[in-house]
Amino acid sequence: MGKIIATLLGLLTLLLGSGLWIGLGLIGTGVGLLTLFRPNMPGLKLLAQQTYNVVVSPELLALPLFILMAEILFRTKISEALFTGLSPWLRRVPGRLSHLTVLGCTMFASVCGSSAATTATVGRITAKELIDRGYNRDLVTGSLAGAGTLGFLIPPSTIMIIYGVMAEESILRLFIAGIVPGLMLAASYMGYLAIRSWLNPALVGATPPRTSFREKMVALKDLGPLLLLIAGVIGSMYGGIASPTEAATVGVVVSMIIGFAQRTLTLGGLLSAARQAAESCAMIGLIMIGAMFLSTMIGYLGVPRYIATEIQSWGMSPLMLVVVLLIFYVLLGTVMEGLGIIVMTLPITLPLAVAAGYDKVWFGIFLVIVVEMAQITPPVGFNLTVIQRLTGDSMGRITRATMPFFLIMAAFVLLIAVFPGIIGFLPDLIRGN
């Protein structure tokens, strides 16, 4: 078994390190393992079967629709509406407008599903506005990096859809499970911003003028389109009216209406959004095919069972296993992006978590959070790259500004490990009803 594992790691390092597409690298690794250790197995037939399973999977049908919705929303005035609609309500709370980034990302994440899209859409307005108003630059960029990752945790989430298909778990149940942790994490970010600004008021600039209640209510009308979209997507799913795929269709239609009504979306822009969505889906589809194929291969070779047995023989407690997995995924996040991390490690780490007493839904949320941490881990952290393009700051400065929010996420992972009911409470309550 040692020779098989060494060959697996060697092929992955060679192919992925050469710059080959992740999907092709995973397929090549699977083919190499078959050729060396199971030459009599019908490799091409298995690859064709896995390709067919991914292409016709009804659960994955929601993925391109949510990606298309995010691309359309990126071409609307949603980010401007978030700023003007929320800012009058935050001028006198501790932390003032610094909370705009967290609240904006939280609201946009509830209709987006992409961490990078959430960061780019909210950040292109809030980052410049807050820095121009005298807010501490590092506080602004750090909060944007941390809050932008909520695009993966707060449903709908593209990562949850992929995990649900690979782990054979209900996508809707995963969506429901992400609500409470997502809101708690957002509240933790806001709590940190409030404490920092209370300790050092100079971080949040001059005190803005008071806003009357009437002005606050008038500002809410700017949030109307986004609230309508949230109600259409989230409300239809959790109300039992629509499946995730049908809710994604509603989201695409409503986002198109918003874009055309705001006169920011043209037919050319719609075609551009569709083209970008198709490219993203093709990339994800190839990765999924490669991941499923490689998972099948290492399953036939007994690698997951062997590793699980070895780790269980160490006698680690469930909490210690979570700490080890957390460190493992953070280290992977320094050299790989989130989707690649999930598809490559899931066949091995999921059985370990289940054997330790955690269910698939809990592990799915855990995995989403550690992938979020990978999004803000240099040098590959994609959210850091997005913020660098928005602000022009050096990667080192952005990384230092992000560190407090990274540590908050790490502490939150340990919290849900000690109290797994944080994740299971809402899904169990809804299923019970």
In the block, residue with structure tokens 């009308």: 221
Separation of first and last alpha carbons in the chain: 47
**Would residue 26 count as lying in a domain?**
no
**Would residue 1 count as lying in a domain?**
no
Determine the Cα–Cα distance for residues 57 and 34; give it in Å rounded to an integer: 25
**Would residue 198 count as lying in a domain?**
yes
SS3 state of residue 135: strand
pLDDT of amino acid 431: 67
**Would residue 145 count as lying in a domain?**
yes
Determine the Cα–Cα distance for residues 381 and 189; give it in Å rounded to an integer: 19
pLDDT of amino acid 362: 94
Q: State which amino acid sits at residue 297.
A: M
> Which residues in the chain show pLDDT less than 70?
43, 206-207, 335, 337, 379-380, 431-433
pLDDT of amino acid 171: 86
**Would residue 22 count as lying in a domain?**
no
pLDDT of amino acid 283: 82
**Would residue 3 count as lying in a domain?**
no
Rounded to 5 degrees, φ, ψ at 135 are: -75, 145
Residue from 53, 2, 25, 38 nearest 297 by CA = 38
pLDDT of amino acid 74: 79
Cβ neighbours, 10 Å, residue 384: 24
**Would residue 14 count as lying in a domain?**
no
Residue from 331, 336, 332 nearest 382 by CA = 336
State the pTM of this model.
0.82
Cβ neighbours, 10 Å, residue 184: 15
pLDDT of amino acid 300: 76
What range defines the domain where residue 131 resides?
A: 32-431
pLDDT of amino acid 226: 83
pLDDT of amino acid 405: 92
Give tens-digit pLDDT for 22-81: 788 888 888 888 888 877 777 677 788 778 777 777 777 788 888 888 888 878 887 778
Work out how many domains the chain is built from and give that number.
Answer: 1
In the block, residue with structure tokens 């992925």: 16
Determine the Cα–Cα distance for residues 113 and 67; give it in Å rounded to an integer: 7
pLDDT of amino acid 301: 78
pLDDT of amino acid 113: 72
If you ran DSSP here, which 8-state letter would residue 209 be given?
P
Collect all residues with Cβ–Cβ distance below 8 Å to 106 and sequence separation of at least 6. Answer: 147, 150, 154, 182, 183, 186
**Would residue 11 count as lying in a domain?**
no
pLDDT of amino acid 432: 62
